[in-house]
Amino acid sequence: MFLLMLRQSFFRGRRRKLLATSTIILAASLITALMTISIDVGDKMSREMKSYGANLNLVPKSENLPLEIGGVDYNPLKGEVFLEEQDLGKMKEIFWHNNIAGYAPFLKVPAKLEGKGGAAVPIIGTYFSRLVKFAGNEEFRTGVREINPFWRVKGNWPDDSKTDEVLAGATLARKLGLKVGDRLTVRYALAPTQPEAVTVAGILSTGGAEESALVAPLALAQRIYGHTGKVQSVSVSALTVPEDRLSRKARHGADALDSLEYDRWYCTAYVSSIAHQLEEAIPSAAARPIWQVAASEGTVVNKIQLLMVVVTIAAFIASGLGISSLMVTTIMERSREIGLMKALGAADWEVYLLFLSESALVGLIGGLIGCGAGALLAQLIGLSIFGATVSFHLIVIPVNVVISILIALAGSLVPSRLITRLFPAEVLHGRK
Amino acid sequence: MLSYFVHLMRAFLPLALVAGLLLPTLRCSRSGEPGRWLFGAPAAGLAAGALTYLVALKLEAVTASRATLFGLGLVATGAVAALILTRRRQEPAPFAWWPALCYQAALAAAAIFSFLAASGEEALSTTTVLNSELILNLGGILIALLCSAVLVPVAAQVAERSPRRRLSWGLFLIGTLIAVPWGADLLLALMRLERIELTSLRLSVVAKVGKYAHLAPYGELAILVALALLIWKGRQVPEHAELAALEPAPRRKTKSLILRETRWLKSALYLSVVIVGVLAFYDLYASRPPRISTPVRLTPDAAGLIRIPVAQVADGKLHRFSHLTDDGHLVRFFLINTRGAGASGPPRVGVVFDACMLCGDLGYLQNKNEIVCIACNVRIFVPSIGKEGGCNPIPLKHEANGSEIVISARELDKGARYFSEVLSIKVKDPVSGKELINLKAPFREEFKGRIYFFENEKTLEQFRATPERFAGADPARNFRVQGYRQA
């Protein structure tokens, strides 16, 4: 019976319902768009926090001093302080040494080519895949091939023990027209030194800064630079446990923990406690976990999130008011019908239920259409902010539908109190 | 999402049921202004409980405040029970009103307190940015709140249609189901805070109640379902002929009443079934920790050696075995090719106990290519298995002679105390030589980490006097607290 009445009343006053639906569509599409972007980044961040592996970056302590002003690095020691290559073995002596899955040192050398117009090419020295020996005759294979399995090489990987083979980054190779097997002569760019002859063993694609450089065995880079046994930074790949409450607390520094918590934190393979232990093992180094998503997209998203809250509240109020005025008109128009229902024995709440479910239905439809429109809008915003499309998460739909229904209900709640004030006798006689 | 739903449902189910079942009684016992106070009491209780939890967390006195809260709740329960029992036959007097309200407030306070304490272990979200996990968790909370809210009118309808006596019994049973875990918790807290003496009887009562406390919600819902079914069975539905004989207006009225009653009873049934289903799914499946694969039991040959062909374990999978020591300890160990399946070169097999020096003997699990320590959820770097340190499995001394891995039972026996699982086997009294069942032996004595069993006190005393004579010259077993021992 109730459903029958609802169906009949729903198809009346279509123009007004259309108006109400479009108000909600507008509000819902705005909220959907912002929420889609926010959730996309939020999910990526939470996946990163919950992953079992993490990368740490080890740099000399003085380089870690924040001396960046307006995006320009004023650190006078930039590129001039080094870590000792021989110290790196100490990383396998920390408590969680078994969780260090691999590491690769890096040394970036400004160099230029002899010939080809003396083009400046940075040379990045690293381990490709090298057997490292530790105390106790332990062997350990490490290098960029172990920690970056997604690096792709067309051609061959160079041999770490030779010092005349390099990889050319894909961008650089395109710019200079380098091919596998080309012979090059490189030398240090800032001072006249002995030039070195090298062969391009392969073309490297990484998706990072390495693509516009020559990647060489560490020993070769050190020889060109004239700093034997030095490295600038180390990428460490560690097996970790997902972040939780304790590790978030520890992020404010180890002092924030009491002694019991400190013990638990130290003896759990959180990325932060491994970083702490690496710093203990190599006192001249500072270790920082690299949260890739958190660093790049996190800051923008915080602002988007604030915007979303403001827009949601504004949309809530605006469309609530719109619906409210539409509802008043409806009740006034249909007052005779309400009077008749009451005269036939309907309780107040039954009349309420009819009107509220009607507007909830309007909210549902508006919310669903708004979701579709908002998903498109999100792609536009994503393209203009991040330069990439945003994947749509299904979870947005129920949240948005609930919000839309709430808007519709909130808008109709106040006017529907008019229903109680209608007396059957008065409205049926037309006296009110 | 599921865990939040379950925590909230468990916490609020007693409140919703009791509030609903008491509603009709309270409503008719106090005419005029029925609504406000009935909701005021639980609301005040919720606020008080939440505040208590926050203060307790700040002062690090969660145990003490939980005990106080449950103690107060028990007092309120007692007061209500006394009033109901003494004045069974009369209409509830106005003064029965206040204890009932206090009881609801106490239930509400306990509900919010236990929900906050249970979910305090988990994080609502891993980041501050809005994400799916956060929304799902909030959704779980909202759905559980909705279910509890719907339960109140449903229970009230059931109560309205139940006879007084049956309703009192139902309430009494539900009250018992709520009060018993409270009492056990209070007892435990008093023992922990050293207010009363710790005895083995008290402790075993607490442990038994604690073990079965998670079944209470099922019982409470079963009582609601039982009340609904009893109404269903006892009600008199007029026949078609009877209905047809009525005047149109009374007939429609009767029909509508029957329809309404059927709907309420059905919704009580469906709601209970859904909640029980979700709780059972969580208890039986979702909340279970991951299980290790069943180890293959190996027995050493006459020379006390276990031989495992390398080819059998070279496939890169975790191969778990077990060995039973002569005092009944089950020692688990596993072998894995640390080079992985497709690697070049001969397999390098890591031979390790299935226990961690830090985390104990929960064991390790293979999840696709990863070996995970179940206790602390850390992934183990496979090439390092067989080396000591960190959360690595404890290395087991063995010999590899090309095609076979040879493990001596003596080495396995040394690691027996890393494991806590003890099976029932036949053992011998080392003094008299009489056969006993290890778990049923009247006397036992530990020496060098091994357990010896005795038939009577006399042989025990003899053993105590000169243990070396009976125990043999095997080296002592290792304990986890000793850390890694050099061979």
**Domain end marker among A192, A212, A239:** A239
Residues A35, A134 within the same domain: no
Predicted pLDDT of residue A138: 67
State the amino acid at position B361 in one-letter form.
D
**Domain end marker among A239, A271, A286:** A239
Predicted pLDDT of residue A292: 63
Task: Report yes or no on B291 lying in a domain.
Answer: no
Q: How far apart are CA A75 and CA A60, in angstroms?
A: 13
Task: Report yes or no on A244 lying in a domain.
Answer: no
Task: Report yes or no on A263 lying in a domain.
Answer: no
Residues B255, B305 within the same domain: no
Residues A187, A313 within the same domain: no
Residues B131, B164 within the same domain: yes
Find residue B360's DSSP bridge partners.
B356
Residue numbers of the domain that contains A387: 2-46+297-429
- Residue B89: is its pLDDT beyond 60? no
Task: Report yes or no on A279 lying in a domain.
Answer: no
Kindly state whether A307 is in contact with chain B, defined as any CB-CB distance less than 8 angstroms. Answer: no
Q: Mark yes or no for CB contact A245/B134 under 8 Å.
A: no
Q: How far apart are CA B226 and CA B386, in angstroms?
A: 58
Q: How far apart are CA A323 and CA A362, in angstroms?
A: 10
Residues A190, A150 within the same domain: yes
Among B135, B139, B390, the residue with its CB nearest the CB of A99 is B390
Task: Report yes or no on B162 lying in a domain.
Answer: yes
Task: Report yes or no on A194 lying in a domain.
Answer: yes
**Among B89-93, B166-170, B298-302, whose mean pLDDT is lowest?**
B89-93
Residues B304, B281 within the same domain: no
Kindly state whether A243 is in contact with chain B, defined as any CB-CB distance less than 8 angstroms. Answer: yes
Residues A358, A415 within the same domain: yes
Q: Mark yes or no for CB contact B391/A98 under 8 Å.
A: yes
Domain count, chain A: 2
Residues A230, A313 within the same domain: no
Phi/psi for A55 (5° steps) reads: -110, 140
Residues B125, B78 within the same domain: yes
Question: What is the least distance, in Å, from the CA of A294 to any CA of chain B?
Answer: 9
Three-state secondary structure string covering chain B? CHHHHHHHHHHHHHHHHHHHHHHHHHHHHCCCCCHHHHHHHHHHHHHHHHHHHHHHHHHCCHHHHHHHHHHHHHHHHHHHHHHHHHCCCCCCCHHHHHHHHHHHHHHHHHHHHHHHHHHCCCCCCCCCCCCHHHHHHHHHHHHHHHHHHHHHHHHHHHHHHCCHHHHHHHHHHHHHHHHHHHHHHHHHHHHHCCCCCCCHHHHHHHHHHHHHHHHHHHHHHHHHHHHHHHHHHHCCCCCHHHHHHCCHHHHHHHHHHHHHHHHHHHHHHHHHHHHHHHHHHHHHHHCCCCCCCCCEECCCCCCCEEEEEHHHHCCCCCEEEEEECCCCEEEEEEEEECCCCCCCCCCCEEEEEEEECCCECCCEEEECCEEEECCCCCEECHHHECECCCCCEEECCCEECCCEEEEEHHHHHHCHHHCCCECCCEEECCCCCCEEEHHHCCEEEEECCEEEEECCHHHHHHHHHCHHHHHCCCCCCCCHHHCCCCC
- Residue B142: is its pLDDT beyond 90? yes
Residues A42, A107 within the same domain: no
Task: Report yes or no on B32 lying in a domain.
Answer: yes
Residues A40, A58 within the same domain: no
Q: Which chain A residue has its CA at the smallest distance from B126's CA?
A: A46
Q: Mark yes or no for CB contact A240/B377 under 8 Å.
A: no
Residues A64, A33 within the same domain: no
- Residue B310: is its pLDDT beyond 70? yes
Q: How far apart are CA A341 and CA A319, in angstroms?
A: 29
ipTM over 0.85: no
Instruction: Go through B126-140 and write b for each residue having 16 or more CB atoms within 10 A of its CB, e for each that does not.
Output: bbebbbbbbbbbebb
Residues B356, B213 within the same domain: no
Residues A102, A213 within the same domain: yes
Task: State how far the alpha carbon of B86 is from the alpha carbons of B82, B104, B164, in Å.
Answer: 6, 20, 14
* Mutate which: B119, B132, B263, vs A, most A CBs within 10 A: B132
Predicted pLDDT of residue A369: 94
**Domain end marker among B418, B452, B474:** B418
A52: chain B residues, CB-CB within 8 Å: 370, 379
Phi/psi for B25 (5° steps) reads: -60, -50
Who's near B198: CB < 8 A, 6+ residues apart? Answer: B191
Strand-strand pairing, A72-73 and B393-395:
unpaired
| Closest of A370, A355, A368 to residue A324, by C-alpha | A355
Residues B259, B385 within the same domain: no
Average pLDDT, chain B: 84
Domain count, chain B: 3
Three-state secondary structure string covering A310-345? HHHHHHHHHHHHHHHHHHHHHHHHCHHHHHHHHHCC
Who's near A286: CB < 8 A, 6+ residues apart? Answer: A58, A59, A60, A61, A63, A64, A279
Task: Report yes or no on A364 lying in a domain.
Answer: yes
Q: For residues B267-296, give the mean pLDDT.
A: 89
Q: How far apart are CA B66 and CA B73, in angstroms?
A: 10
Predicted pLDDT of residue A63: 59
A393: chain B residues, CB-CB within 8 Å: 132
Task: Report yes or no on A257 lying in a domain.
Answer: no
Q: Are B477 and B416 in contact (CB under 8 A)?
A: yes
Alpha-carbon torsion A155, A160, A166, A172, what sign? positive
Question: What is the least distance, in Å, from the CA of A350 to any CA of chain B?
Answer: 14
A430 dihedral zone (left: phi>0; alpha: psi -120 to 50; beta):
left
B391: chain A residues, CB-CB within 8 Å: 98-99, 269
- Residue B87: is its pLDDT beyond 70? no
Residues A369, A342 within the same domain: yes
B57: chain A residues, CB-CB within 8 Å: none
Among B129, B136, B370, the residue with its CB nearest the CB of A45 is B129
Q: Look up residue A114 and give its DSSP letter.
A: S
Q: How far apart are CA B138 and CA B96, in angstroms?
A: 38
| pLDDT tens-digit series, residues B328-350 | 889 999 998 887 766 666 778 88
Find residue A198's DSSP bridge partners.
A184
Q: For residues B147-171, give the mean pLDDT.
A: 89
Task: Report yes or no on B182 lying in a domain.
Answer: yes
Q: Mark yes or no for CB contact A49/B392 under 8 Å.
A: no
Question: What is the least distance, in Å, from the CA of A173 to any CA of chain B?
Answer: 33
A294: chain B residues, CB-CB within 8 Å: 127
Predicted pLDDT of residue A65: 56
Residue numbers of the domain that contains B468: 426-482
Q: Which CATH number belongs to the domain containing residue B107 in this structure?
A: 1.20.1250
**Domain end marker among A223, A239, A255:** A239
Which parts of chain A sit beneath pLDDT 70?
Answer: 1, 51-54, 63-80, 116-117, 135-138, 254, 292-299, 431-432
Task: Report yes or no on B189 lying in a domain.
Answer: yes
- Residue B32: is its pLDDT beyond 80? no
Within 13 Å of residue B126, how many CA atoms lie on the same side as its CB? Answer: 19
A244: chain B residues, CB-CB within 8 Å: 123
Residues A217, A302 within the same domain: no
Task: Report yes or no on B379 lying in a domain.
Answer: yes
Predicted pLDDT of residue A75: 59
Instruction: Go through B160-177 and write b for each residue having 16 or more CB atoms within 10 A of its CB, e for each that does not.
Output: bbbeeeebbebbeebbeb
Predicted pLDDT of residue B487: 44
Task: Report yes or no on A222 lying in a domain.
Answer: yes
**pTM of the shown model:** 0.76
**Domain end marker among B363, B391, B418:** B418
Q: Which CATH number belongs to the domain containing residue B337 in this structure?
A: 2.102.10
Question: What is the least distance, in Å, from the CA of B269 to any CA of chain A?
Answer: 23
**Domain end marker among B261, B286, B311:** B286
Could you tell me which residues of chain B have a Cβ less than 8 Å from any Cβ in chain A?
Answer: 123, 125-136, 139, 358, 370, 376-381, 383-384, 387, 389-392
Residues B110, B191 within the same domain: yes
Residues B128, B272 within the same domain: yes
**Among A96-100, B79-83, B110-114, B171-175, whose mean pLDDT is lowest?**
B79-83
Q: What's the burial of A262, exposed, middle or buried (CB within 10 Å: 0-12/13-18/19+)?
A: middle
Q: How far apart are CA B93 and CA B83, in angstroms?
A: 9
Q: What's the burial of B480, exposed, middle or buried (CB within 10 Å: 0-12/13-18/19+)?
A: middle
Question: What is the least distance, in Å, from the CA of A308 to any CA of chain B?
Answer: 10
Percent of chain B with pLDDT over 90: 21
Task: Report yes or no on B155 lying in a domain.
Answer: yes
What is the CA A237 to chain-centroid distance, rounded?
A: 20
Residues B161, B251 within the same domain: yes
Residues B33, B114 within the same domain: yes
Q: Mark yes or no for CB contact A269/B380 under 8 Å.
A: no
Task: State how far the alpha carbon of B291 is from the alpha carbons of B330, B367, B418, in Å.
Answer: 17, 11, 18
Q: Mark yes or no for CB contact B370/A393 under 8 Å.
A: no
Q: How far apart are CA A250 and CA A73, in angstroms?
A: 29
Q: Are A49 and B127 in contact (CB under 8 A)?
A: yes
- Residue B227: is its pLDDT beyond 90? yes
Task: Report yes or no on B339 lying in a domain.
Answer: yes
Q: Are B20 and B153 in contact (CB under 8 A)?
A: yes
Residues B276, B325 within the same domain: no
Q: Mark yes or no for CB contact B378/A269 under 8 Å.
A: yes
Q: Which chain B residue has its CA at the smallest distance from A240's CA?
A: B378
Q: How far apart are CA A300 and CA A294, in angstroms?
A: 10
Task: Report yes or no on A282 lying in a domain.
Answer: no
Phi/psi for A233 (5° steps) reads: -150, 165
Residues A196, A70 within the same domain: yes
Q: For residue A355, give the 3-state DSSP assignment.
A: helix
